[in-house]
């Protein structure tokens, strides 16, 4: 499990969990919601200071590496 998955261990009650009985459309929707949640979490991670990252045991390099997994999050934060 990656750092970001450990931090975002759930949807804080905003979205129902995926059931194996869901239709294909439901499964795709759940995947989209999961991707969106991870992207937002990665953006939040980039906005933390180095001290805050240190408090949770993450280096700036690790945060940048994780954000690079979601190109949109990385480029939105870095303005490239």
Please give the C-alpha separations between residue 59 and each of 18, 26, 54, in angstroms, as whole numbers. Answer: 32, 36, 6
H helices present in 9-79, as ranges:
24-46, 50-55, 60-68, 71-78
pTM of the predicted structure, to 2 decimals:
0.54
Can you give the pLDDT at residue 79?
63
Dihedral angle at the C-alpha atoms of 33, 2, 10, 78, nearest 10 degrees?
-60
What's the pLDDT at 13? Answer: 53
Using alpha carbons, select from 5, 44, 11 the residue that is nearest to residue 30: 11
Closest alpha carbon to 67 in 31, 30, 32, 40: 40
What pLDDT digit, counting tens, does each position of 8-23 carry?
555 555 555 555 555 8
The pLDDT of 60-77, averaged and rounded, is 78
- Residue 54 pLDDT grade (very low, low, confident, very high; cuts 50, 70, 90): very high
6 vs 39, more confident: 39
Average pLDDT over residues 32-44: 89
């Amino acid at each position: 499990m990656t750092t970001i998955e450990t931090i975002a261990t759930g949807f804080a009650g905003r979205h129902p969990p995926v059931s194996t009985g869901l239709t294909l459309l439901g499964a795709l929707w759940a995947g989209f919601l999961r991707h969106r949640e991870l992207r937002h979490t990665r953006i939040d991670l980039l906005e933390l200071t180095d001290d805050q990252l240190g408090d949770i045991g993450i280096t700036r390099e690790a945060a940048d590496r994780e954000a690079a997994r979601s190109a949109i999050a990385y480029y939105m934060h870095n303005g490239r």
